Structure 1
Amino acid sequence: MTLMDEMLDADDLSDYMVHDPIKTAISAETIRRLSPRKPITLSPSATLQEAIELMQAKRIGAVVVVENNQPVGIFTERDVLFKVLKAAPDFLQTPLKDFMTPDPVSLFIEDKIAFALNRMTVGGFRHIPIVDHDGVLSGIISVKDIVEYLAGLFPAEVYNIRPEPLRGGFGSAEGG
């Protein structure tokens, strides 16, 4: 089964609009409701050092790599952890294009929040560039933005969710 086979089609989201207010909120609202922030961008030729220093200075988890205002890649803190640390000692001067995730999934501001959450879950990533219908980068959202949105709408429900393991979890509350 391919990634595309696993992803929900935007039209199929109505099946998930049950009477649960949180599910209804993310199924009905568009990404616009999250107020995507202005993305921090770099070119593919920027160095890893530039990217890492920028991410530290701006306290962000991702930079979008652009050419002609269109996203061609995304570089995240996970790329630093899982790709960069395996590189040669002079990795800080290596071009960003050697470590970025190329051709990142991007969405439109009109897409549903549930669709964004589905893409993140199935794809295993936490940031999604937002583009206009010409493919021009206009924003970025993260899973944190979705959680903050839901916490603002349903503080009692979100802050009082009982911990339940997502995938079978651990044998005890302490993980042992």
Structure 2
Amino acid sequence: MPAFGFQQGARQARHELVQAAVGGRTARALVRLAALLAFVLSAVAAQAYEVSVKGVRIVDPWTPATLRLPLGNAVYMTIVNETGAPLRLTGVRTDVARAGTLHHTVTADDGVARMLRIVEVEIAPREVLRLEPLEMHVMLTALDAPLTEGNTFPLTLIFREVGEVTVDVMVKRATAQRPRPRP
């Protein structure tokens, strides 16, 4: 939501409070103000989280919540190379799991899906790499604790050219559909 929209909404709410106090409709005005505030806060929360460091932009890193302690869990995000040179993602690190690796899901002719470990991923200049369910993703193994919806945890991406970039991964509802940010 643009800043001017928030300011306009705040002015409108302030105007309604003054009008209500003058006219004796304070309770109704407070309800309307609360509804407006909830709308503004939900619009702000719905915006995708992103980090931009050293010419690398990471958009909406997330993982599904776990019900119990799983053996592993995937992390998804969009990575944008805003530099004029190729970038190579060579690894990941986090404190919530014993290991983090890059994987790609492939489906064999018989319909069985397998994850293949990837040592390095090259992102061409000005290109986008999407880490998505049933595609390329970060795989966390041997989690220390279940991942609870609404929490976040740090994940460090390691690039050969620019070093480390740390992001906060949002834990979303396990049934959440993959977001489709378009940087």
TM-score normalised over the length of structure 1:
0.21
Over alpha carbons, which structure has the higher Rg? Answer: 2
Tell me which protein shows more helix as a share of its residues. Answer: 1
Tell me which protein shows more strand as a share of its residues. Answer: 2
